[in-house]
Amino acid sequence: MNNILKDKVIESTLYIRSKVKFSPDIAVILGSGLGELASMLEDSTKIAYTDIPHFPKSTVVGHSGELIAGEFNGKKLICLNGRFHYYEGYTMETVTYPVRVFKELGVNKIIITNAAGGINKTFKPGDLMIITDHINFMCSNPLIGPNDEYFGPRFPDMGDTYTPSLVDLAMVVAKECGILLRQGVYVAVSGPTYETPVEINMFRLLGGDAVGMSTVPESIVARHMGMDIFAISCIANVAADLSPVKLTHNDVIKTVGEAQEKLLEFISLFIERI
């Protein structure tokens, strides 16, 4: 971290503030195929990533490329409709850049969604899993390099990264909705290849329940800045050692699309209760 990053974040923030006339309460990062939530915002303002100074652009199918701000169930939201991935060739600083901007905008709570592969043998495609902890297998960390105390401490504590009170609230909301919510550990890998059967078995032995190519870098940076974090995975497929079917990204998008109604019902009430 350095003053150059700080200056860029401030410049991006000033531009967004010139377009969005309110201070958002909650930031939401929308994962693969989960962009429907953004279309449900009222009195929304859309800003293309290409218009925001220093913002990268998403290159992955299922990820749009716009920042959307608006009201949703009585809360003021700002949504990242299309995230950035390490496997796209971006640096970790770039992958997590929007989270820095969210914090500069005054956001203290962030909801992170993703599509993930199921490692836990009891999981089925379409299940929803609250992330209670993670294993960083990306062989990198977004905090590597000089630290800027403006953003956070040199050595942030990663205990309770995923805010326990939000996890507890989620379970209450899910019960009210009649939705089964799993809980588990998310394993983050760099991608873009899907995992081999042996890798999946290793992750399972280490305590992993789901695997994906995002979320952990954003969570580390949000934790670095003292934000409250809630993360949820849509289990898009069973792991490589549990299915003879070859996995494709289109399959992931299809499964997540089928689970959208359930996820949106849960997220809607959850945001209202935060």
Which tens digits make up the pLDDT trace of 34-49?
A: 677 888 899 999 999 9
Establish whether 214 is a catalytic residue.
yes
Establish whether 63 is a catalytic residue.
yes
Percent residues over pLDDT 70 in the chain = 90
**pTM here?**
0.93
Which tens digits make up the pLDDT trace of 179-237?
A: 999 999 999 999 999 999 999 999 999 999 999 999 999 999 999 999 999 999 999 88
Active-site choice (38, 92, 115, 259): 115
Whole-angstrom distance, CA of residue 2 vs CA of residue 128: 38
Out of 32-46, 62-76, 118-132, give the one with best mean pLDDT: 118-132
Establish whether 32 is a catalytic residue.
yes
Establish whether 49 is a catalytic residue.
no
**CA neighbor of 38 nearest in space, from 80, 73, 2:** 80
Class of domain 3-273 (CATH, top level): alpha beta
Q: What is the pLDDT of residue 2?
A: 59
Q: Is the pLDDT of residue 87 over 70?
A: yes
Establish whether 158 is a catalytic residue.
no
Establish whether 213 is a catalytic residue.
yes
Whole-angstrom distance, CA of residue 236 vs CA of residue 175: 22
Beta-bridge partner residues of 230: 111
Going from the C-alpha of 62 to that of each of 30, 37, 146, 216, 248, the distances in angstroms are 10, 13, 34, 19, 13
Which phi-psi region, left, alpha or beta, contains residue 232 (left: φ > 0; alpha: ψ -120 to 50)? beta
Q: SS3 for 15?
A: helix
Which tens digits make up the pLDDT trace of 156-183?
A: 999 999 999 999 999 999 999 999 999 9
Active-site choice (108, 249, 265, 268): 249
Which phi-psi region, left, alpha or beta, contains residue 85 (left: φ > 0; alpha: ψ -120 to 50)? beta
Establish whether 134 is a catalytic residue.
no
Per the prediction, the chain carries an average pLDDT of 91
Which residues contact residue 269 at a Cβ distance below 8 angstroms, ignoring those fewer than 6 apart? 73, 173, 176, 177
